[in-house]
Amino acid sequence: MPTTYRSYVAVGDSFTEGMCDDLLPDGQYRGWADRVASALAEELAAEEFRYANLAVRGKLIGQIHDEQLAAASAMGADLVTLAGGLNDVLRPGCDIAQVERLLGRCAGELRAAGATVVLFTSTDPTRRLGGSSRLLPAILRMKAFVHELGQDDGVAVVDLFSAPCFDDRRLWAEDRLHLSPEGHRRVAAAVLESLGRPASFDWRAPLPPAAPRGAAERLRSDARWLGTHLGPWIGRRLTGRSSGDGRPPKRAELLPYR
């Protein structure tokens, strides 16, 4: 029988905050972590399930360590998902050894607090984004490091890198960096599978073939992406700003959840 979890804390950046999933009534994105929390809560029937999501978009691994780790550890949750480091890798001159040290420290401290920890490998951007090949050496190194951490019996690894379904643009939002609702649905299923839950569907399966896009449609899409998403992202990098500056955690307290 899989372990029963009565409390869950999600730690990370925009990936875990749920960017670009469906909107909740309060205006926040739902996200794969909310989907996981909902599934785990249903297992407890009338018992109380508690959930917190400390993730904030744009955070680097150092900020996740400094701003989220102590709170997550103090909550003493049974389960913690930890995703971070990709924002660092996206920046030129990333100190990948430092990213590994901080990610390993986060995982170690959460395990010491008694939590089962779920880690993630990145998807492979080179299979869907032109010009992303410079990122691959760091992503492959991080992938190997995460699998090394996964040798601990209390650590589960969700390996998104080896799932070619994430090459499909329909699993990504218009900004090409965040998951679409279907992408979030699949990550949630992958997390639950890593925790020993039976799969309700094959999250690795490819989508049905998409209708081919014409050259004009591709050009319009690329122009829209450059102006709406890539340009502002570069502007924030140049000015030292982040999309998460001044933004509170999505769900800062470990509260009952249904």
Model confidence band, residue 129 (pLDDT cutoffs 50, 70, 90):
confident
pLDDT tens per residue, range 56-81: 999 999 999 999 999 999 999 999 99
CA distance 14 to 90: 14
179 pLDDT higher than 70: yes
Lowest mean pLDDT among 67-71, 80-84, 139-143, 246-250: 246-250
CA distance 161 to 44: 32
Kindly state whether residue 153 falls inside one of the protein's structural domains.
Answer: yes
CATH number at residue 74: 3.40.50.1110
Q: What average pLDDT score do residues 170-177 get? A: 89
Question: Residue 33 is encoded by which pair of tokens?
Answer: 């972590």
Sheet containing 79-82: give its strands across. Answer: 155-159, 116-121, 79-82, 7-11, 50-53, 251-256
Q: What average pLDDT score do residues 117-146 get? A: 90
Kindly state whether residue 105 falls inside one of the protein's structural domains.
Answer: yes
CA distance 8 to 46: 17
Residue 185 and residue 144 in contact, taking contact as beta carbons nearer than 8 Å: no
166 pLDDT higher than 90: yes
Kindly state whether residue 73 falls inside one of the protein's structural domains.
Answer: yes
Identify the residue whose tokens are 């785990």. 40
107 pLDDT higher than 90: yes
CA distance 124 to 166: 8
Q: Per DSSP, what are the bridge partners of residue 8?
A: 51, 79
Residues ≥6 apart with Cβ < 8 Å to 163: 123, 190, 203, 204
Kindly state whether residue 237 falls inside one of the protein's structural domains.
Answer: yes
pLDDT value for 220? 59
Q: What average pLDDT score do residues 231-256 get? A: 75
Residue 34 is given by DSSP the state H
Domain that holds residue 181: 7-205+214-256
Residue 123 is given by DSSP the state P
Kindly state whether residue 1 falls inside one of the protein's structural domains.
Answer: no
pLDDT value for 128? 78
Kindly state whether residue 2 falls inside one of the protein's structural domains.
Answer: no
Q: What average pLDDT score do residues 35-53 get? A: 92
Write down the mean pLDDT value for the chain: 89
55 pLDDT higher than 60: yes
pTM (predicted TM-score)? 0.89
pLDDT tens per residue, range 184-238: 999 999 999 999 999 889 999 999 887 677 666 655 555 564 555 455 555 555 5
pLDDT value for 229? 47
Q: What average pLDDT score do residues 132-156 get? A: 94
CA distance 5 to 3: 6
Kindly state whether residue 175 falls inside one of the protein's structural domains.
Answer: yes
Kindly state whether residue 61 falls inside one of the protein's structural domains.
Answer: yes
Identify the residue whose tokens are 């992938």. 143
Q: What average pLDDT score do residues 73-92 get? A: 95
What is the count of structural domains for the chain? 1
pLDDT value for 67? 97
Angle, nearest 10°, between helix axes 181-194 and 31-43?
Answer: 50
pLDDT value for 21? 97
Question: Residue 200 is encoded by which pair of tokens?
Answer: 């309700």
Q: What average pLDDT score do residues 28-40 get? A: 97
pLDDT value for 144? 98
